[in-house]
Structure 1
Amino acid sequence: ANSPQYSRYFENVTDAVAISDREVEFHFNQKGNRELPKIIGDLAVLPKHWWEGTDANGKKRDVTKPTLEIPLGSAAYKITSFKPGSEIIWQRVPDYWAAKLPVKIGRENFDTRRYTYILDDNAAWLAFTKGGLEDINREYSSRKWATAYNFPAFQAGDVIKKDFQTQAPEPMQGFVLNQRRPLFQDRLVREALTIPFDFESMNRTLFFGFNTRTSSYFQGTELASNGLPQGKELEILEKYRDKLPPELFTQEFKLPVYDSPQAERKYLKQAVDLFAKAGWVIKGGKMVNAKTGAPFKFEILGWNDTDQVIASPYIANLRKIGVDATLRIIDQTQYINRVNNFDFDVVTGMLQQSDSPGNEQRDFWSSKAADSPGSRNLMGIKDPTVDALVDRIIFATDRDDLVAATHALDRILLWNFYVVPQYYRSAVWLAYWDKFKFPDKQPAYAGADIDSWWIDPDKEKALAAKYKGGN
């Protein structure tokens, strides 16, 4: 809770008191925060005697500092060995205390789980195709899913790929426009930058038609806003009417649809018109500030090949209207540090929600989170109306009130164009060597539950003999 990111979850907790050897009582400063008791119940309990003890060298342990000593745990698996940055091996605990609890029966079936760290994506892919090192591969690339599964083991039927459909909330994946940069502080500019994203062409030419355009921060749930505001949602929004975009009350939020050759010209003109309203004009083929002549220029920050795939068509369209956007690929560690410190113009963000939004909304949208490194408020939103809606969600009186308040928040976020929405896919793509079995019914909220899988020893032996790779 000392971390700025997690402190917002416990904002209404005043203190904790041990009332017995096995009980702790938490005190809250406000009533009605329905989710907070559950969050408190999720807190992990650590073995105090171990963390306050000494290691094999007699040195006192410090729970606040990293360690290379295998800690004492209480889960279904224990760490048996590891090589830092290279490998870690988990071994199933034979007398695991929770093994017969209803939620655990039929799960955690592998005796040993070995994780090998491979920093190169291509090397990891080759390891999977050969077997013996990586036996289950979660695929994210549409191109690979459609074209790359033609290696010998797959053609022989020894590797299977399966599409596990999901019914979970879909994340808002999009280009995050960092409002800490003056360039993105005008809502008209942010809307103008949203229009040139041609999802339909990208989905057809790059993603093999697998993806769907994202149109809500709560996509795939009853919490997603749609149509025009009405009922309780409208009552909530009316309180802030003079602080909200007027279109929010009169127009259904819709993103451009590039469904014909003529669509590009129409939408790019709309973008140019919005830039003009915001004080930007095209001169000499460049979008410049009408008063200062400064060019409209920004950088998209990325760390892998997928960033290149997503950004390149968008950059090409922006250049057609004189906007100078570039892509910079950096190593993952540097990328994480820069994103955590909000040191970027634009990044691709993935904002994942649940069916029951609550205290975590502060970390996504609140004014406090905008100034807290490591928060999920990558956009830098500082809006009293948004803050009020977040509190309304946290202290919702019932499900109907929660849904209405979330609809209102979703609509405000969309009409302020904080991100350029990209796409989602309601499926988990898994490819695996044909030695696994699993229940036919997998959880719809996850798509696939690997912990419910088990290994067929006869198939494992046959594959190992056939490929001599120790599958």
Structure 2
Amino acid sequence: MAPGFFEESTVLLNFVALATVFAARADERSPVLRINQHIIRFGRLALGAMCLLFMLVPASAAPPSPGPRHAIAMHGEPLYPEGFTHFGYANPEAPKGGAIVYGATGSFDSLNPFIVRGTSAIGLREHVFESLLARGYDEPFTLYGLLAETVEVPEDRSWVAFTLNPAARFSDGVPVSVDDVIYSLEMLRDKGRPNYKTYYSKVERIERIGKRGVKFHFIPDGDREIPLILGLMPIIPKHVYEKRDFSRAGFETPIGSGPYVVEKMRPGASITYKRDTTYWGEWLPVNVGQNNIDRITYEYFRDANASFEAFKSGIYQARPEDDPGRWNTSYDFPALREGKVRKETFESGMPSGMYALVFNTRRAPFTDIRVRQALIQLFNFEWVNRNLHYGSYVRTQSFFDNSELGSHGREASERERSLLAPFAGAVAPDIMARGWQAPKGDPSGQDRANRARATALLKDAGYEVRRGIMTQKETGRPLAFEILVATPGEERLALTYSRMVKRIGVNAIVRNVDPSQYQERRNNYDFDTIFNSWFSSLSPGNEQSFYWGSEAADQPGTRNYMGAKEPAIDAMIDAMLVARTREEFVAVVRAMDRVLLSGAYMIPLYHQPEQWVALWKKVKTPETRSLYGYRSSTWWIDQD
């Protein structure tokens, strides 16, 4: 899950359920997945018998658990013990007060961050709304008590129970109740973004436990991450939102339980959050040393250049930088020379993620993998990095570069091979042997070898050059496509790539549209190619279905922009969610990485080797960094 802005009657039942699930998923082409029909028939008989047994067993019967705890880790034990006082990357002595302004580009037309419709203002989820548990950023995936003071799961994670903190309040003073928790799940599942439906539809039954307890029982699919996903569910007040149209994008003031409230906003231009001095959870261990600044404002600017000029003049005070040209040459303005602004770099222990030019495989010519492979050959990273980016970037060769989860440079283990065995051909032999190796470009720009390979692939796909134009032999149709962009940086890179493919007769048309139109077209997959970034964590999970799962390919608003529908990807995601050890988990993620790269769904581009941030002098940061790099929630303002 991505961080915020700036960043054994039961045994028999389980047997029956698993038999049914595996039978439904069985691929008749694969003996590994085939289920013996006698077992299935037995399962059906047993299921009928167990229906009678259920009449005799109390509804609350469930696997035993170790009892309520202060935290839950995806794998292993939480880093921080019960009774800890604060996270190591937060300064408990940080003073409160002051104000900060951040810059944003584009616009917004909604204060509802939970729906597909509209573009919501930045910061709502981070500042106004809270979840049952809060993430610790010193470890891959561990959650600690927030709205819920305890969490409880059995060993098989077939259910999760939360006990609400009796002090928890919404900003209007109304206590957070079990009704609010249940209402939140139902509204988000039924009217929220597609990923909410994917996650929360796994809840089979909800059980109230006393006045402050709630237990979620899950469908028997073995997903061991879903208790943590429920822990991160945003909680919205029923007494407020049941009187509103939740599916509507608009500017009704949001009400949550978080440390800030919306103080004011100018539609599409700015939004200001004010620290709630009566915030109920200020002294919880997960909050100590955080949420220090009294007022947080996001000012929106037309584009990156206008935004940078505003930063130079002090209109806003904190700027994450992603343009190496600007980072290397443009930070020489008076305020920096006078010591009023400083540049900082932050190391991160996180995977690089994936920034790529994405092919929409729902459309021709990208339905043909050979065309996609050819276009990958034509991107000359070495020239781009030297001439556009001052040599500041590193080529991305895995969805999880810079971590143990990446497959680049690693031969597939025996466990990976066994996981992939039912899916012959899903992984290219060279990627199985050593991961994906990016084509080696020519810094001079000649790049003849890669152009020759691309031309050969296109010839094999039925293309030939006619009068300088790459043409499909059968139809006479030129090989052409559109690159949809919304920022000057994207446009510059797209134009550069367009010139590269033009050298073998391919026509890449660059189309620059306004941010709102871009968002609409992206949500509805109305494009040929786009640039996109996918965040990667050390604990990928359910969000991977939202990124690359087959079901997400046809649902508007997901992040499966390429339209992947690959059974091997779906199977690896399923295996990822049931992995019980870190070793098994790493093997599954690497296997999925190999399948994604073998599909040639995109041109992997590049990533920063570290985080670049420019700050005005008054903005202070803790000495200790999190595993994820900087955390803006831990900053404070020097008011001297």
**Is this a same-fold pair by TM over 0.5?**
yes
Please tell me whether the aligned partners of residues 189 and 275 of structure 1 are also in contact (alpha carbons under 8 angstroms).
Answer: yes
Instruction: Name the residue aligned to 1:278.
Output: 461
* Residue from 391, 394, 408 that aligns with 1:212: 394
- The whole-number CA distance in structure 2 between the counterparts of 1:74 and 1:143 is 41
The CA deviation at 1:64 is 4.0
Work out whether 1:74 is the aligned partner of 2:264. Answer: no
Matches within 5 A, 1:427-446: 427-445=610-628
The CA deviation string for residues 346-373 of structure 1, in whole angstroms up to 9 with x for no partner, is 1011122221122111111121111101
For the structure 1 residues 182 and 96, does the alpha-carbon distance in structure 2 shift closer, same or farther, using more than 3 Å as the test? same
- The whole-number CA distance in structure 2 between the counterparts of 1:68 and 1:311 is 35
- The whole-number CA distance in structure 2 between the counterparts of 1:340 and 1:143 is 30
The CA deviation at 1:63 is 3.9
Paired letter, 2:364: P
For the structure 1 residues 51 and 413, does the alpha-carbon distance in structure 2 shift closer, same or farther, using more than 3 Å as the test? closer
Please tell me whether the aligned partners of residues 420 and 568 of structure 2 are also in contact (alpha carbons under 8 angstroms).
Answer: no
The CA deviation string for residues 95-148 of structure 1, in whole angstroms up to 9 with x for no partner, is 3222112222112111222333333433332222122x2111222211111111
Instruction: Name the residue aligned to 1:293.
Output: 476
Matches within 5 A, 1:9-408: 9-52=199-242, 60-131=243-314, 133-226=315-408, 227-242=410-425, 244-249=427-432, 252-259=435-442, 261=444, 264-408=447-591
Indicate the larger mover: 360-369 or 81-90: 81-90
- The whole-number CA distance in structure 1 between the counterparts of 2:275 and 2:435 is 53
Indicate the larger mover: 15-24 or 292-301: 15-24
Instruction: Name the residue aligned to 1:462.
Output: none
Question: Which structure 2 residue ranges, 5 or more long, are not aligned?
Answer: 1-188
Please tell me whether the aligned partners of residues 380 and 445 of structure 2 are also in contact (alpha carbons under 8 angstroms).
Answer: no
The CA deviation at 1:228 is 2.6
Please tell me whether the aligned partners of residues 5 and 372 of structure 1 are also in contact (alpha carbons under 8 angstroms).
Answer: no
The CA deviation string for residues 14-43 of structure 1, in whole angstroms up to 9 with x for no partner, is 232334332222121115311001111212
The TM-score normalised by the length of structure 2 is 0.67
Indicate the larger mover: 426-435 or 297-306: 426-435
Paired letter, 2:331: Y
- The whole-number CA distance in structure 1 between the counterparts of 2:484 and 2:620 is 41
Please tell me whether the aligned partners of residues 261 and 273 of structure 2 are also in contact (alpha carbons under 8 angstroms).
Answer: yes
Please tell me whether the aligned partners of residues 281 and 289 of structure 1 are also in contact (alpha carbons under 8 angstroms).
Answer: yes
- The whole-number CA distance in structure 1 between the counterparts of 2:201 and 2:486 is 34
The CA deviation at 1:261 is 4.6
Paired letter, 1:351: W
- The whole-number CA distance in structure 1 between the counterparts of 2:195 and 2:233 is 15
The CA deviation string for residues 226-258 of structure 1, in whole angstroms up to 9 with x for no partner, is 333222011212222255444444564211112
- The whole-number CA distance in structure 1 between the counterparts of 2:565 and 2:297 is 45
Paired letter, 2:596: L
Residue aligned with 1:457, SS:
coil
Paired letter, 1:94: T
Indicate the larger mover: 398-407 or 299-308: 398-407
For the structure 1 residues 74 and 12, does the alpha-carbon distance in structure 2 shift closer, same or farther, using more than 3 Å as the test? closer
- The whole-number CA distance in structure 2 between the counterparts of 1:200 and 1:276 is 26
The CA deviation at 1:193 is 0.7
The CA deviation at 1:259 is 4.4
- The whole-number CA distance in structure 2 between the counterparts of 1:141 and 1:390 is 33
Residue aligned with 2:564, SS:
coil
Paired letter, 2:415: K
Please tell me whether the aligned partners of residues 32 and 397 of structure 1 are also in contact (alpha carbons under 8 angstroms).
Answer: no
For the structure 1 residues 242 and 331, does the alpha-carbon distance in structure 2 shift closer, same or farther, using more than 3 Å as the test? closer
- The whole-number CA distance in structure 2 between the counterparts of 1:200 and 1:256 is 10
- The whole-number CA distance in structure 1 between the counterparts of 2:623 and 2:325 is 27
Please tell me whether the aligned partners of residues 136 and 430 of structure 1 are also in contact (alpha carbons under 8 angstroms).
Answer: yes
- The whole-number CA distance in structure 1 between the counterparts of 2:205 and 2:302 is 43
- The whole-number CA distance in structure 2 between the counterparts of 1:455 and 1:98 is 21
The CA deviation at 1:67 is 4.8
For the structure 1 residues 260 and 92, does the alpha-carbon distance in structure 2 shift closer, same or farther, using more than 3 Å as the test? closer
Please tell me whether the aligned partners of residues 76 and 93 of structure 1 are also in contact (alpha carbons under 8 angstroms).
Answer: yes
- The whole-number CA distance in structure 1 between the counterparts of 2:585 and 2:622 is 35
The CA deviation at 1:183 is 0.5
- The whole-number CA distance in structure 2 between the counterparts of 1:268 and 1:229 is 29
The total of aligned residue pairs comes to: 449
For the structure 1 residues 72 and 346, does the alpha-carbon distance in structure 2 shift closer, same or farther, using more than 3 Å as the test? closer
Instruction: Name the residue aligned to 2:145.
Output: none
Paired letter, 2:383: S
- The whole-number CA distance in structure 1 between the counterparts of 2:436 and 2:309 is 44
Indicate the larger mover: 112-121 or 449-458: 112-121
The CA deviation at 1:311 is 1.4
Paired letter, 1:286: I
Paired letter, 2:498: I
For the structure 1 residues 263 and 11, does the alpha-carbon distance in structure 2 shift closer, same or farther, using more than 3 Å as the test? farther
Per chain length, whose mean CA-contact separation is higher, i.e. which structure has more relative contact order (CA < 8 Å, sep 6+)?
1
Residue aligned with 1:184, SS:
coil
* Residue from 602, 607, 614 that aligns with 1:424: 607
For the structure 1 residues 359 and 273, does the alpha-carbon distance in structure 2 shift closer, same or farther, using more than 3 Å as the test? same
- The whole-number CA distance in structure 2 between the counterparts of 1:438 and 1:183 is 49
Please tell me whether the aligned partners of residues 572 and 591 of structure 2 are also in contact (alpha carbons under 8 angstroms).
Answer: yes
Residue aligned with 1:182, SS:
coil
Paired letter, 2:298: Y
Paired letter, 2:196: Y
Please tell me whether the aligned partners of residues 167 and 426 of structure 1 are also in contact (alpha carbons under 8 angstroms).
Answer: no
- The whole-number CA distance in structure 1 between the counterparts of 2:260 and 2:630 is 20
The CA deviation string for residues 174-207 of structure 1, in whole angstroms up to 9 with x for no partner, is 1101110121112111111101101111111110
The CA deviation at 1:72 is 3.0
Residue aligned with 1:394, SS:
helix
The TM-score normalised by the length of structure 1 is 0.90
For the structure 1 residues 61 and 276, does the alpha-carbon distance in structure 2 shift closer, same or farther, using more than 3 Å as the test? closer
Please tell me whether the aligned partners of residues 383 and 445 of structure 2 are also in contact (alpha carbons under 8 angstroms).
Answer: no
- The whole-number CA distance in structure 2 between the counterparts of 1:178 and 1:88 is 35
- The whole-number CA distance in structure 2 between the counterparts of 1:64 and 1:317 is 44
* Percent of pairs with identical residues: 37
The CA deviation at 1:165 is 2.1
For the structure 1 residues 126 and 382, does the alpha-carbon distance in structure 2 shift closer, same or farther, using more than 3 Å as the test? same
